[in-house]
Amino acid sequence: RRALVDEIANADPKGWKNDVSPPFKNPTDAVIYELHVRDASINANSGIRHKGKFIGLAESGTKNSNGLMTGLDHLRELGVTHIHLLPSYDFYTIDETRPEKAQYNWGYDPLNYNVPEGSYSTNARDGLARVREFKELIQSLHKNNLRVIMDVVYNHTMLTDDSWFNQIVPGYYYRQNKDGSFSNATACNNETASERPMVRKYILESVKYWLTEYHVDGFRFDLMGVHDIETMNIIAKELRAIKPDILLYGEGWTAGASPLPEELRALKKNASKLDNIAVFSDDIRDGIKGSVFKAEDRGFASGKKGMEESVKFGIVAATRHPQVKYDSVNYSKTPYASSPYQVVTYCECHDNNVLIDKLRLSCPNASEKQLRDMQKLALSIVLTSQGISFLHAGTEFLRSKNGVENSYESGDSINAIDWDLKTKNKDVFDYVKGLISMRKSHPAFRMTSADDITKNINFLHSSGSLISYTINGKSVKDKWSTVFVAFNGSDHEQKLVVPRGKWKTAIVNSLASGTKTVPGKIAPFSATILYID
């Protein structure tokens, strides 16, 4: 609630002018890891000294109770390319004057858009400390070959009548219903009017400021469907003029009705109208694990039949493919992406139940081994599908939130990452690490055009909870000339028909393997990946 006037360069950490982003080529090369700053370090077993702070995540050499890497070193070890930080600008619900009080929020309640969150700094009363320490975190991530995505929430403000915007020009910054009341497509009591010139100008100048002053590498737009297409495309054009390899994506939906016509909104179905700004694919998300709105609903990876086409739709990144039966896809009955750059492929995020909790809730009779296999199968689908890969923090070692569906203010007891789970579930961590390494090593899993996907992916089987397909790797200059991928989403072993050839195994029944044997069967809830050199 206080302002500071100072020269911001006074807050630059040592060597800041020489800070550079790690090399990055195509958007589909990204493996994004979504992480909350406080969650990453607050647990006693994180081994991190500055718990809950920006600079805590910048520490190296940290270990859990059993000596395994945590925090920054863990992220580097896992092999992801981008760290998506949940809101790190100044948000409303944390009282920065009371650092001794345990307070928690995800941060989707904007107050001051252009200042880092004070509770994540070591001293919120020192206005330059939060600037310097956020820059130190970004600098540290860059040095460790990790890029940084900022989660930004320009679609609404925490306050409405009393917001800073409304005090400047009452009513101008927000859309209204016909009766003059504030419209509410965000379910947060207001929605900003991005199509109005000064609102558009504010958002544009804000993202450019974070890009140039803080060296961030991309933005995730919360409820992007509230914004208009024209504004989003102007943002994309101007940011790429500064940083050509910037990564932009967002939620292609709203949380309620908006007075802005649908055809003008940055919705999922309008993805092809966006300038290579990606949208999250809820089609593959719920195809894999079941509806996020129905805890008991299962998906392909948890044994629900009839989800094959929804998963195939995600495998080809919502682009047009002659072998996808669109009338059987769960949500989208037509492809909406003109490029795999336009789709974020995922099966969980901070919203709703984390994956292992969803599996436990929807499969109450499943054994722990079955649940573990389902988790590995779900992540196998995500990390071998086309599009931009996206993981929620801790999924690689079965992070749980004890069944709390939306933990935005549930506190550390629910949200803190339990780093000792990495020891308990080391096999899952190693498996996911291997999947990420495989994806990064093989362009067959991250094609850059819809035409390549259509020509080079050939589905062989897609019924009875079994999906199999081949990828022509040679065509996209992969060292694997042909790849065979199979997923068994049933609770029983299935026969696997593999085309003739001298196959080698990358993964058999969700186990890494270097043998030359080709299995004739695929285990329950598992993935098999074969290749020919």
Q: Please state, in angstroms and rounded to a whole number, the distance separating the CA atoms of residues 376 and 147.
A: 25
Model confidence at 32: pLDDT above 70: yes
Q: What is the pLDDT of residue 519?
A: 73
Q: Please state, in angstroms and rounded to a whole number, the distance separating the CA atoms of residues 35 and 141.
A: 13
Average pLDDT score, the chain? 97
Q: What ranges in 91-196 are assigned the alpha helix state H? A: 127-143, 164-168
Structure confidence at residue 517 as a pLDDT band (50, 70, 90): low
Model confidence at 2: pLDDT above 90: no
Q: What is the pLDDT of residue 238?
A: 98
Can you read off the two tokens belonging to residue 381?
């689908």
Taken in order 9, 10, 13, 17, is the CA torsion positive or negative?
A: positive
Q: Are 229 and 201 in contact (CB under 8 A)?
A: no
Tell me whether residue 222 is one of the annotated catalytic residues: yes
CA triple 241-243-245, angle to 5 deg: 115
409-415 contacts: CB < 8 A, separation 24 or more? 409/93, 409/104, 409/105, 409/106, 410/104, 411/102, 411/104, 412/38, 412/42, 412/43, 412/102, 412/104, 415/36, 415/38, 415/39, 415/104
Model confidence at 515: pLDDT above 90: no
Torsion of CA 394, 395, 399, 403, to 10 degrees: 130
Q: Are 521 and 496 in contact (CB under 8 A)?
A: yes
Q: Please state, in angstroms and rounded to a whole number, the distance separating the CA atoms of residues 132 and 136.
A: 6
Model confidence at 524: pLDDT above 90: yes
Give the 3-state secondary structure percentages of the chain, helix then strand then coil, rounded to 5.
35, 15, 50
Neighbours of 345 (CB within 10 A): 28
| Distances 366 to 276, 354, 400, 532 between C-alpha atoms, Å | 41, 17, 16, 35
Active-site pick, 96, 133, 222, 286? 222
The 8-class DSSP code of residue 411 comes to -
Structure confidence at residue 159 as a pLDDT band (50, 70, 90): very high
- Among 360-369, 419-428, 517-526, name the one with the lowest average pLDDT: 517-526
Residue that has been written with the tokens 């500064």 in this structure: 242
Model confidence at 158: pLDDT above 70: yes
Could you tell me which residue, 510 or 332, shows the higher pLDDT? 332
Active-site pick, 29, 34, 59, 251? 251
Q: Are 178 and 248 in contact (CB under 8 A)?
A: no
Q: Please state, in angstroms and rounded to a whole number, the distance separating the CA atoms of residues 432 and 33.
A: 12
Q: Are strands 147-152 and 494-495 parallel, antiparallel or unpaired?
A: unpaired
Does this model's pTM top 0.85? My answer is: yes
Q: What is the pLDDT of residue 443?
A: 98
Q: What is the pLDDT of residue 106?
A: 98
- pLDDT digit string, tens, across residues 305-331: 999 999 999 999 999 999 999 999 999
Can you read off the two tokens belonging to residue 409?
């203010």
- pLDDT digit string, tens, across residues 467-502: 999 999 999 999 999 999 999 999 999 999 999 999
Q: Are 345 and 382 in contact (CB under 8 A)?
A: yes
Q: Please state, in angstroms and rounded to a whole number, the distance separating the CA atoms of residues 473 and 152.
A: 37
Q: Are 277 and 232 in contact (CB under 8 A)?
A: yes
Q: What is the pLDDT of residue 63?
A: 98
Above pLDDT 70, what percent of the chain?
A: 99
Q: Please state, in angstroms and rounded to a whole number, the distance separating the CA atoms of residues 417 and 34.
A: 13
Q: What is the CA radius of gyration of the chain?
A: 23
Question: Which amino acid is residue 409, in one-letter code?
Answer: E
Model confidence at 511: pLDDT above 90: no
Residue by residue, DSSP assigns 125-149 as: TSHHHHHHHHHHHHHHHHHTT-EEE
Q: Which of 432, 342, 335, 444 is nearest to 388 (CA)?
A: 342
Q: Which of 396, 370, 375, 372 is nearest to 524 (CA)?
A: 370
Tell me whether residue 12 is one of the annotated catalytic residues: no
